[in-house]
């Protein structure tokens, strides 16, 4: 069982089906859990584990499900459903059902109440403000340059001195005048 928290998921399959208990239509997103947020940074989850999110398509659930599908960039085709996002953030919470604790997965970053979201230009301004006032976190360090192969099969790291070409001045005989 996963701990409650924020995770990154990779799409495996998307389908429209019928719930077992109520026989009502539902949107099903099967995913692999690939990363978990720990101390503000993404950490790989090994081994990958598959989970499914079920989104009810009943009239009462429609406003909530529609927002979640919009977040995932649903193609709008219920006969051949798909979502554009290959990776997306999900939440795991725990609840108790029939005296058993179980995971409850949901799409992160979706509005699940009747609160009206701000206009898109306000959200864009807030996003810009956030980017300019905070340092990025969880960004992996740059990939180091590959080592050089030297004669004999030995490998060594390229130094700054080796990376810069040597500056030479032309000999007097090489001058065009």
CATH number of residue 107's parent domain: 2.40.50
In 3-state terms, what secondary structure has residue 42?
Answer: strand
* pLDDT tens for each residue of 3-56: 999 999 999 999 999 988 888 999 999 999 999 988 888 889 989 999 999 999
Whether the Cβ atoms of residue 8 and residue 87 lie closer than 8 Å to each other: yes
> Is residue 82 in some structural domain?
yes
> Is residue 158 in some structural domain?
no
Q: Which domain holds residue 127?
A: 5-133
> Is residue 176 in some structural domain?
no
> Is residue 107 in some structural domain?
yes
Whether the Cβ atoms of residue 90 and residue 106 lie closer than 8 Å to each other: yes
Assessment of whether the complete model's pTM goes beyond 0.85 = no
> Is residue 154 in some structural domain?
no
> Is residue 42 in some structural domain?
yes
d(CA 102, CA 29): 18
> Is residue 50 in some structural domain?
yes
d(CA 51, CA 63): 23
* pLDDT tens for each residue of 152-177: 444 444 444 444 444 444 455 555 55
E strand segments, the chain: 5-18, 25-38, 41-56, 87-97, 100-107, 148-149, 155-156
Q: Domain count of the chain?
A: 1
pLDDT number for residue 173: 53
pLDDT number for residue 12: 95
| 5 CA to centre of own chain | 14
Of 151 and 98, the one with more pLDDT: 98
> Is residue 56 in some structural domain?
yes
The vertex-110 CA angle with 106 and 113, nearest 5°, equals 100
The vertex-68 CA angle with 16 and 114, nearest 5°, equals 125
């Amino acid at each position: 069982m996963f701990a409650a928290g924020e995770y990154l998921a990779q799409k495996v399959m998307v389908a429209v089906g019928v719930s077992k208990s109520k026989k009502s239509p539902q949107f099903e997103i099967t995913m692999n859990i690939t990363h978990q947020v720990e101390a503000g940074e993404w950490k790989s989850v090994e081994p990958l584990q598959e989970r499914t999110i079920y989104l009810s398509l009943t009239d009462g659930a429609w406003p909530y499900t529609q927002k979640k599908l919009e977040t995932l960039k649903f193609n709008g085709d219920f006969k051949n459903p798909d979502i554009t996002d290959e990776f997306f953030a999900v939440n795991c919470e725990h609840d108790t059902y029939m005296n058993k604790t179980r995971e409850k997965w949901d799409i992160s970053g979706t509005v699940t109440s009747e609160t009206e979201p701000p206009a898109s230009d306000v959200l864009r301004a807030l996003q810009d403000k956030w980017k300019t006032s905070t340092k990025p976190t969880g960004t992996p360090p740059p990939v180091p340059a590959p080592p050089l192969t030297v004669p004999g099969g030995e490998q060594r790291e390229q130094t700054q001195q080796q990376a810069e070409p040597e500056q030479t001045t032309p000999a007097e005989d090489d001058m065009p005048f």
